Amino acid sequence: MAAARGRGPADAVEAHWQSLRLSWQWRHAVHRIRRPGRPYPGIVPLLEAAAAQPRLRRLYPFTSHFALLFSSSTSYPWTVQAGSIEPLHNGRFMVRRRSPFAVIGEVETAEEAVALVLELLPTDPEPVITAST
């Protein structure tokens, strides 16, 4: 990540998408070994569905308590765009708006959840920037 940040915000965003997907895939694999048969929230398919969308792919993804959020800043404090998507244990996905905070809906698939977040995204989201430290 440090090398990607050194190359600029676009590289930091791309590196973090890859890192986030790999780390959640690993956590899911460990869960299947340690707790076979127990459900695991659909964060991996959610990350894959979100990564397939160019408008979201240019934003910095981060997770908090399994919820996926998107920032126009590549470091804390985050500048959250649109809303968040939370994979639920029942296999569904809950979409929340950030401002004003509200539940937008609960849908069956990661693709439907991503479509709802895309509707909440400003037509021209802020460019990705690296926050000063």
> Per the domain annotation, does 64 fall within a domain?
yes
Q: Is 83 left (phi over 0), alpha (psi -120 to 50) or beta?
A: beta
> Per the domain annotation, does 128 fall within a domain?
no
Q: What is the DSSP letter of 81?
A: -
> Per the domain annotation, does 85 fall within a domain?
yes
Nearest one of 91, 84, 88, 58 to 69, comparing CA atoms: 84
Per the CB < 8 A criterion, the answer to whether 41 and 103 are in contact is no
- Minimum mean pLDDT range among 49-53, 86-90, 122-126: 122-126
Assign 133 a pLDDT band (cuts: 50, 70, 90): very low
> Per the domain annotation, does 19 fall within a domain?
yes
**Each residue's pLDDT tens digit, 65-94:** 889 999 988 888 888 888 899 999 899 999
Q: What is the pTM of this model?
A: 0.84
Number of compact structural domains in the chain: 1
Bridge partners, residue 95, by sequence: 85, 105
Domain enclosing residue 116, as ranges:
2-120
Nearest one of 59, 71, 104 to 85, comparing CA atoms: 104
Per the CB < 8 A criterion, the answer to whether 68 and 59 are in contact is no
